[in-house]
Amino acid sequence: MFFLKRIISENEWIVNLNNHKITIKREDKIDKWISGNKFRKLKYVFLKLIKERNKKILSFGGVFSNHLAALSKAGNLHRVKTFAIVRGKEWEDKIIENPTLKFCKKNGMDLHFVSREEYRLYDKGLTCKNIIDLNPQLEIIPEGGSSKEAMKGCMEILTSDDKKFDVICVSVGTGGTISGIIESSYLNQFVLGFLSLKHKNMSKEIFKNTSKTNWSLIDDYTFNGYGKISIELINFVNHFYKKYRVPIDPIYNAKMVFGIFDMIKKNKWKWGKNILIINTGGLQGIRGMNLKLKQRGWEIIDY
């Protein structure tokens, strides 16, 4: 059973940059599809589903969602029926053009496309209500997979071997991963979260999950929003891989790593010199990103 695996990720030293030692935790190596924080977030959800013999689960996401891709694969592996409310009605007849949606469909996920207006209604939308009415005892998990079970899984990212690091860095989307890391961090450590999009209420969301205060959020490297990129960022992603042989996705992890390197080079880093970066995976989304890059005539991400 996939989620019964005991996973301990490898730490790889990357570089000493201006007397700062940078190490990366390779959560991306857990699995090709259920990788990084997606494995952590889904682990206890699926163990509960299997124990309760509840074989249906619904979640939410965009058309290139790492979460939905991982959820569909996990459902396929464990014979759990999966449903998704997908943001973007215009993609309903273009599934074949989207590698993430094709993968979800291949794994047996029922995709229900809604407008952005209905998507904002979340489980109050008509489409979602219809799915719930037709599927009693349906397990519902939020966009990105953040939940109490998810936080429990994310608390297992750090191990006792990681106590030596001064600061733990992680990208932040919905706040579930960083919440688990904060809870499992040691007294001597600081946790630094790099937002993938501007979110003025993210601190409040994290404080719902933890009372610890050894953390802070950085929003200077969102590149103007979720899913937004630049030629500079894509060049950084490719250069980083060529130099260190570590793939990083452009939506979350690349922005974080770019920010760390940039602050150190500009002497703006103030959180300790022994740094651990959490690579949360998300590499499946690169296929979709490369489609966008080709349309713009930009260099693609070359892994």
Q: For the segment 76-100, what is each residue's pLDDT rounded down to a tens digit? A: 999 999 999 999 999 999 999 999 9
What is the Cα–Cα distance from 255 to 169, expressed in whole angstroms?
A: 12
What is the Cα–Cα distance from 88 to 73, expressed in whole angstroms?
A: 21
Question: 191 or 289: which carries more pLDDT confidence?
Answer: 191
Q: For the segment 63-72, what is each residue's pLDDT rounded down to a tens digit? A: 999 999 999 9
Q: What is the pLDDT of residue 7?
A: 83
End-to-end Cα distance, the chain? 30
Taking all residues of the chain, what is their mean pLDDT, rounded to a whole number? 93
Tokens of 216: 């802070």
**Using 50, 70 and 90 to split pLDDT, how confident is the model at 29?**
very high
Q: What is the pLDDT of residue 199?
A: 82
Inter-CA distances, 119 with 76, 98, 158, 212, 280, Å? 25, 19, 34, 33, 25
Q: What is the pLDDT of residue 228?
A: 84
Q: For the segment 112-166, what is each residue's pLDDT rounded down to a tens digit? A: 999 999 999 988 999 999 999 999 889 999 998 888 899 999 999 999 999 999 9
Q: What is the pLDDT of residue 145?
A: 86
Domain architecture of the chain: domains with CATH:
2-32+147-296 (3.40.50.1100), 38-145 (3.40.50.1100)
SS3 272: coil
Question: 201 or 53: which carries more pLDDT confidence?
Answer: 201
Residue 252, phi then psi, degrees to nearest 5: -120, -70
SS3 110: strand
The answer to whether residue 172 scores a pLDDT higher than 90 is: yes
Report which DSSP code applies to 5. -
What is the Cα–Cα distance from 258 to 249, expressed in whole angstroms?
A: 12
Q: What is the pLDDT of residue 281?
A: 93
| Nearby residues of 60 by Cβ (< 8 Å), 6 or more positions away | 84, 85, 86, 87, 119, 122, 142, 143
Q: For the segment 243-291, what is each residue's pLDDT rounded down to a tens digit? A: 999 999 999 999 999 999 999 999 999 999 999 999 999 899 898 899 8
Residue 8, phi then psi, degrees to nearest 5: -125, 115
